[in-house]
Amino acid sequence: MRKVEARLISDAGAPAAAVVAQTTVRAPVRWTQPDGTERTAVVSVWAGSPAGTAVPIWITAQGVATSRAPTTPGAADASAWMTATGTFVVATGLFIAAWKSFTKLVDILRYRGWEKEWDEVEAGLSEQFRNR
């Protein structure tokens, strides 16, 4: 992406609803390409900016204009670290939840087995004491 200085073609009106300062609106801008051709696009600009105001825009290799600056290497690194940390936390949480569910299921099955065996032992002991 490369930075270009464009000019507002018309006044950037106020937003539809009354909101706090530093609101952006979409407005048409014009700039000249390195080959001398003039181009226009609609980008986000500060509300209330008069026609002719210089607006920094960024042009992609395909010629698409945007008012958003490209991400800096530091911001990209921070985003990558945040994504990696979030993924690790979520994956760890899912693993712990799966492990807890598995151990709970194993405990339920074990308790049912113990209960069944105890019923058999108890029946045998009761029969022994009744025959005395």
DSSP string for residues in 31-94:
EE-TTS-EEEEEEEEETTPPTT-EEEEEE-TT--EESSPPPPHHHHHHHHHHHHHHHHHHHHHH
Mean pLDDT of 86-100: 98
Q: Quick one: pLDDT at residue 19?
A: 53
Q: Quick one: pLDDT at residue 111?
A: 97
Q: Among candidates 62, 26, 32, 21, which has minimal Cα distance to 45?
A: 26
Mean pLDDT of 72-90: 95
pLDDT, tens digit, 9 for 90 and up, residues 100-119: 999 999 999 999 999 999 99
Q: Quick one: pLDDT at residue 105?
A: 98
Q: Tell the residue number behind the tokens 């026609």, with chain if given.
A: 51
d(CA 130, CA 124): 10
Instruction: Place 69 in a pLDDT band, splitting at 50, 70 and 90.
Output: confident
Instruction: Place 86 in a pLDDT band, splitting at 50, 70 and 90.
Output: very high
pLDDT, tens digit, 9 for 90 and up, residues 6-65: 999 988 876 555 555 568 888 899 998 888 888 898 988 888 888 889 988 888 877 778
Q: Quick one: pLDDT at residue 126?
A: 80
